[in-house]
Structures are given as structure tokens and as C-alpha cells.
Amino acid sequence: MSHDAQVYVRSQTEFEYIKQKRKKDMRNQVTSFAIMIFLTLIAFTAVAAGFSVYLIVPVILLLAAVQVVLQLYYFMHMSEENHQVAAFFLYSAVMLAFTFVLTFLTIVWWG
């Protein structure tokens, strides 16, 4: 640290606010973790129960999509402020990947 840098001391109110915010974040993380485990259980159960493939595949894909969103927003902190650029790049990548996969499906493998 440079020797003339200023040290910032938090006030009591700020401290309380941060503490409260961290508590809320923690609750969100635990909740979303529980939801994700639950979703995974549903996926495994669906396969174990021997439902039709035409039901299982879309259900699992849907659950996967939900899990990805939860992961990104709660574990990878995209729900917090100042993540617009990251979100922009991420959604661009999703869009491009979707285009590539769609093209491969339609003109390489099905066509």
C-alpha cells in the first residue's frame, strides 16, 4: 500500500447495513442451493420412474435451463449491481451458441 493512502473506517450504520445485506445474500444462496438439489432430484426421479422419453427429455432440459439461471444469478453474482457488461457478453454468447447449434441441427444432422 502506498504510504500516503487514506484508510477508510466504516460507520456503525454502514456496518449494520452490510451485515444485513450479507445475511440476506446468504439466505438467497442457501435457498437457491436447496432448490437446485430439489430440481436435480426431480430429474433423477423422472428417469428412475421410467416415464416416456418424450416427457423426460424436455423436462430435464427445462430443469437444466432453470438451474443455469440460478447458478448465474445467485452463485456467480450476476444479480448484483454493475454486472451489465458481463450479462451483455453472456447473453451474446448464448445467442451465438444457439444460432450455431440450430444451424448444425438443421443443415448438418437433420438436413
Partner 1 sequence: MSSIAKKKGFGSTLWDYLTTVDHKKIAVMYLAAGGLFFVIGGIEAMLIRIQLAKPDNDFVSAGLFNEIITMHGTTMIFLAAMPILFGFMNAVMPLQIGARDVAFPFLNSLGFWLFLFGGIFLNLSWFMGGAPDAGWTSYASLSLASPGHGIDFYALGLQIAGAGTYIGGINFLVTIINMRAPGMTYMRMPLFTWTTFVASALILFAFPPLTVGIFFLILDRMFGANFFDHTMGGNTIIWEHLFWIFGHPEVYILILPAFGIFSEIFALFARKRLFGYSSMVFATVLIGFLGFMVWAHHMFTVGLGPTANAIFAVATMAIAVPTGMKIFNWLLTIWGGSIKVTTPMLYALAFIPSFVAGGVTGIMQAAAPLDYQLHDSYFIVAHFHYVIVGGVVLAILAAVHLYWPLMFNQMLSEKLGKWTFWFFFIGFHLTFFIQHFLGLMGMPRRVFTFGANQGWDLFNLISSIGAAFMAVGVVILVVNIIITVVKNVPVGNDPWEDGRTLEWAIPQPVPFYNFKQTPLVRGLDTFWIEKMEGNKEGMTYAEPLSDIHMPNGSIIPIVMTIGLFIGAFGALYNGEKDWAIPVLVLGLAITFGAMAVRSLKDDHGFHIHKEDLMNDEGGK
Measured from the CB of residue 110, what is the shortest distance to partner 1 in angstroms? 11
Which residue, 37 or 86, has its beta carbon nearer to partner 1?
86
The Cβ of residue 32 has, within 10 Å, a number of other Cβ atoms equal to 18
Q: CA geometry: angle at 73 spanning 68 and 77, to 5°?
A: 130
Distance CA 59, CA 43 (A): 8
Q: Which residues bind partner 1 (CB under 8 A)?
A: 2-5, 85, 89, 92-93, 96, 99-100, 103-104, 106-108, 111
Measured from the CB of residue 9, what is the shortest distance to partner 1 in angstroms? 20
Q: Which residue reads 437444466 in cell numbers?
A: 64
Which residue, 29 or 92, has its beta carbon nearer to partner 1?
92
